[in-house]
Structure 1
Amino acid sequence: MGNTKREWIPLYNFLDRTKLTAHLAEMAARGWLLTSITPWSWRYRRTEPRKLKFAVTFFAGAGRFSPAPAPGLETFRDYCAQAGWQLAASLDQVQVFYNEDEHAIPLETDSALELANIHKSIGGPLRKSYLALLLLSLFQVGFSLWQLVRDPVDNIGSSSSLLAAGAYLPLTVLILWGLFSYRRWLRKARATAETGAPLPDLPSAKWLSILVMVWSALLVLASFASVSRSAGMVLLLVGMLVFFTLAGFLTDLIRKYLQRLRCPAWGNFLVMIAVILVLTAAALAGLMALVMDNAGTDWFADHPAAETYTYQGMTWSVYDDPIPLRIEDLAEVDYDRWSTEARVDTSFLGSHGEYRQDARLGEGQWPELRYDIVTVKAPFLYDLCKQDFIDWVERDNDQIPPEYREEYRPVDPSPWGAEEVLQVSIGNEAVNQYLLCWSDRLAEVHLPWDWDLTVEQMAVIGEKLAAD
């Protein structure tokens, strides 16, 4: 066994000092003395097993971006050493000391001064950071929900949109828990400080933190699953994770270097912002170059073509996907080199499928077929999806004369076997675009403009599009 060891992601709150110091004392009794702490791990070195008393205190001037060592910090540590308290490790404002005398006088003896120091050192900065993160999280969740309400047809089956909202929900809960628990602790601590008694601990939210980590891991796995059909997208996602890791490591190195140069905190912070912007711009430039170099290939396609062909110097894709409704179901055609494409996205809210059937270019004039099918699992989204189809048709009506305006108008649904059917009209002329409505399904169909639909064709369309 080596002479050092790490504890990865120790879920102790630094204000949960009784449990934290008891844990460190237990490690020391087993022969492991704390030597350094980071946001991700605690490092120990092997020593002779000893009974030590640990204490956690805070130094307000030692901020995340402040010059290091902070003015007065070394003097503070010297005073502690004279009282028998040796520095074990530190992380920004957090200072962890140990004493070989189990009955040593505590580092903090005035509860009121101790509370003021805690609030100045970590309470105030923590609250500001949490509020900033909370605003970011609420913005992301709200933006995702706004996208769902604004464009429900395209987002109802979009795993990426739902992942974007789900990614921030646990973080929002953790932030709110942190803010409310600190506020509750602060109220208790103020009441305790008035009596002169030792300050209470702020319990660690271990299980909530574990839940957030598990949720984050599941989101990463879900992100990989959502792009698993594209090798390029999988590698791109891996590259993003590596980029964020390296960017975080690099910015942390620069931050520490600037601290040693005694750069002012505001200057250090601005440099970090500049570095992040430069790295982001470089990553976006690299991404654009990668996409452009692979344009026209299936490297980033989540739906690779069955084959390709060339027409007038351009490459065109041919698909061979099964689709519920085909041109052959509606008319006799002497052609069999169709491209049939189906793009279906599914989520727990519903699904959205886009389907099309086309002839190959340069092989004659053949009819084309396009339709969308939306299946709604969350009933509150049904009317939103229906209105989304209608709004898209009527989106430009306020900019054109009445005789050219497009709108959906109801027609007899009985031939179609649907509960409701709407047909697009341009002015007073009906065209072959229909919206078929069932209790949990919507289907918008674009048929050849010159077809004069028969009752039999309507029945076939309704039957095929209503089937699961």
Structure 2
Amino acid sequence: MKDRKTRINLFAFYDKTGLERYLERQSAAGWMVDSVSSLLIRFHRMEQPTPYRFEVAFFAGTSFFDSDPTEEQLRFEDRRMETGWKIVTQNRPMSIYCNTDPEAEPVETDPTLQVQSINQVAQHGALMGYYLLLMLSMFWLAVSIRGYFHDPVEELLSNYRLVSLIIFIFIWVAILMGLGRYHRWHKQALKIAATEQRFLEPKSFSKASVRLFIVVCAVLVVLQFLPFRFPSKPVSYYEHNGAKYPVYNDELPLTVGDILHIECEDYSSQILKDSSLLLKRVEADHSPRIFQNYLPGLHYTVIYVKLPCLYNTVKRSLLDDLKNLFDDELPKDCILVDAEPWGAEEAYRLSYDGQLMARYVLCYKHAVVSVAFFGSDWTYSAEETAVFGETFGK
């Protein structure tokens, strides 16, 4: 039989009445509280269940960082001991008392003083932590938004950044809700204490909502570590001019042979795949050996868009990458060309210093494709370019 147990603290820092009732139920079941922190509540087993009455008191002018009780706390404890209350545990601003007499005089009797003490303690402790965490989550949100505008495809392909952003948004919303609940309670509690001479019981988040939040965050954390990246491995190597080059033999959705109807025996076929909750990227390279650079080669990147509202963002990103391919001051642009031969909805071709390059961005219903032809000069017939639509336009 266990002699100790630990439970997650699901109570708001100002919910003294909720914590008191919880500790009373635990003592009736045979468990006495050892310590209470913002995250955990620890108990030890009593020799026999005892229905203690508990009260939580806050002391203004103290904080969670104080190492010793103040003189005011010590005098308060002495007065309480005379009426049968004994201190169970404290973390400086908050002290927890218990009493076996259900009719004993309360530890604190002035509801206005109780509310003011809670607020002063909160200003030096819990609220500071809330605001600090709020600033941290806003900073992370700003960094993520900046990264999205700088390189949206890479941001959207990163499960780590996506999930981190979602988690921080959850935290940001939870903090705002918590601060809003506290300030509403504080305002109402002062009014009721002055007019009705009673302490307004706060309402913590329900256990179900807290557990749901924990489960959602746990699922999101697991998702960001799933193996969505699939690197390929070379099957062999060859040497040329003292350098070693890898040869891949991956299965590609489209090859030079599929387009030109030729044999590609000495070609290397490499594919890299990335996938996230929003996008899927397939990057393929079909090229001859380094000393056969006169032969035609093909490199393309396919971005499959899982969320339609992101389609234009992905298209603009690939067009920007194409225009920024050459880092110089020469004029470059993406020219809209006839998309029908490619079986696409839109087709763009890179113009560099007034010359049309063999680089394209092709727009299909659910995918955007960036294509680069290299090697010998290619001439494309309608039959050859139609293969792209048959492959990526499905």
TM above 0.5, yes or no, is yes
Specify the alignment match of 1:119 in structure 2: 119
Give secondary structure in 1 for the equivalent of 2:374. coil
1:383–1:223 distance in 2 versus 1, CA, 3 Å = closer
Q: Is the contact between residue 153 and residue 317 of structure 2 (CA under 8 Å) also seen in structure 1?
A: yes
Q: TM-score, normalised by structure 2?
A: 0.89
Aligned-residue RMSD, C-alpha: 2.7
Q: Where does 1:123-272 land on structure 2 (aligned, <5 Å)?
A: 123=123, 125-195=125-195, 197-205=197-205, 206-226=207-227
Give secondary structure in 1 for the equivalent of 2:360. strand
- 1:382-423 CA-to-partner distances (Å, cap 9, x unmatched) read 2222222222233489961xxx32211111122111121111
Specify the alignment match of 1:459 in structure 2: 386
Cα separation, 2, equivalents of 1:346 and 1:153: 11
Q: Is the contact between residue 28 and residue 52 of structure 2 (CA under 8 Å) also seen in structure 1?
A: yes
Cα separation, 1, equivalents of 2:160 and 2:173: 21
Q: Which letter does structure 2 place at the counterpart of 1:10?
A: N
1:91–1:343 distance in 2 versus 1, CA, 3 Å = farther
Give secondary structure in 2 for the equivalent of 1:156. helix
| Alpha-carbon shift at residue 182 of structure 1 (Å) | 0.2
Give secondary structure in 1 for the equivalent of 2:121. helix
Cα separation, 1, equivalents of 2:254 and 2:237: 25
Match status 1:338 vs 2:337: no
Q: Is the contact between residue 31 and residue 43 of structure 2 (CA under 8 Å) also seen in structure 1?
A: no
Q: Which letter does structure 1 place at the counterpart of 2:78?
A: D
* Structure with greater helix percent: 1
Q: Which letter does structure 2 place at the counterpart of 1:185?
A: W
Q: Which letter does structure 2 place at the counterpart of 1:331?
A: L
| Alpha-carbon shift at residue 226 of structure 1 (Å) | 3.7
| Alpha-carbon shift at residue 332 of structure 1 (Å) | 5.2
Q: Which letter does structure 1 place at the counterpart of 2:338?
A: D
The number of residues matched between the two structures is: 390
Cα separation, 2, equivalents of 1:314 and 1:161: 37
Match status 1:303 vs 2:304: no
Q: Which letter does structure 2 place at the counterpart of 1:67?
A: S
1:221–1:396 distance in 2 versus 1, CA, 3 Å = closer
Q: Is the contact between residue 60 and residue 122 of structure 1 (CA under 8 Å) also seen in structure 2?
A: no
Cα separation, 2, equivalents of 1:464 and 1:195: 75
- 1:122-159 CA-to-partner distances (Å, cap 9, x unmatched) read 25532222122112213323432443344223333332
Cα separation, 2, equivalents of 1:92 and 1:317: 65
Q: Where does 1:279-290 land on structure 2 (aligned, <5 Å)?
A: none
Q: Is the contact between residue 320 and residue 341 of structure 1 (CA under 8 Å) also seen in structure 2?
A: yes
Give secondary structure in 1 for the equivalent of 2:260. coil
Q: Where does 1:21-60 land on structure 2 (aligned, <5 Å)?
A: 21-38=20-37, 39-60=39-60
Cα separation, 1, equivalents of 2:221 and 2:144: 18
1:19–1:156 distance in 2 versus 1, CA, 3 Å = closer
Give secondary structure in 2 for the equivalent of 1:109. coil
Q: Decide which of 355, 358, 369 is 2:284's aligned counterpart.
A: 355
Cα separation, 2, equivalents of 1:306 and 1:79: 80
Give secondary structure in 2 for the equivalent of 1:47. coil
Q: Is the contact between residue 140 and residue 165 of structure 1 (CA under 8 Å) also seen in structure 2?
A: yes
* Structure with greater strand percent: 2
Most deviating of 140-149 and 409-418: 140-149
Give secondary structure in 1 for the equivalent of 2:197. coil
Specify the alignment match of 1:373 in structure 2: 302
Cα separation, 1, equivalents of 2:204 and 2:246: 56
1:199–1:407 distance in 2 versus 1, CA, 3 Å = same
1:448–1:67 distance in 2 versus 1, CA, 3 Å = same
| Alpha-carbon shift at residue 166 of structure 1 (Å) | 1.4
Cα separation, 2, equivalents of 1:103 and 1:316: 86
Specify the alignment match of 1:20 in structure 2: 19
| Alpha-carbon shift at residue 443 of structure 1 (Å) | 0.9
Cα separation, 2, equivalents of 1:76 and 1:336: 90
- 1:347-404 CA-to-partner distances (Å, cap 9, x unmatched) read 343322222123444577543321111222333322222222222233489961xxx3
Cα separation, 1, equivalents of 2:246 and 2:309: 38
Q: Is the contact between residue 14 and residue 56 of structure 1 (CA under 8 Å) also seen in structure 2?
A: no
Specify the alignment match of 1:63 in structure 2: 63
| Alpha-carbon shift at residue 313 of structure 1 (Å) | 6.3
1:339–1:384 distance in 2 versus 1, CA, 3 Å = same
Cα separation, 1, equivalents of 2:56 and 2:283: 60
Give secondary structure in 1 for the equivalent of 2:65. coil
1:179–1:346 distance in 2 versus 1, CA, 3 Å = same
| Alpha-carbon shift at residue 324 of structure 1 (Å) | 1.2
Percentage of matched positions with identical amino acids: 29
Cα separation, 1, equivalents of 2:288 and 2:328: 34
Specify the alignment match of 2:80 in structure 1: 80
- 1:23-78 CA-to-partner distances (Å, cap 9, x unmatched) read 21222222222122232232223232223210011134542333334554434333
Most deviating of 149-158 and 368-377: 149-158
Q: Which letter does structure 1 place at the counterpart of 2:354?
A: N
Q: TM-score, normalised by structure 1?
A: 0.76
1:367–1:60 distance in 2 versus 1, CA, 3 Å = farther
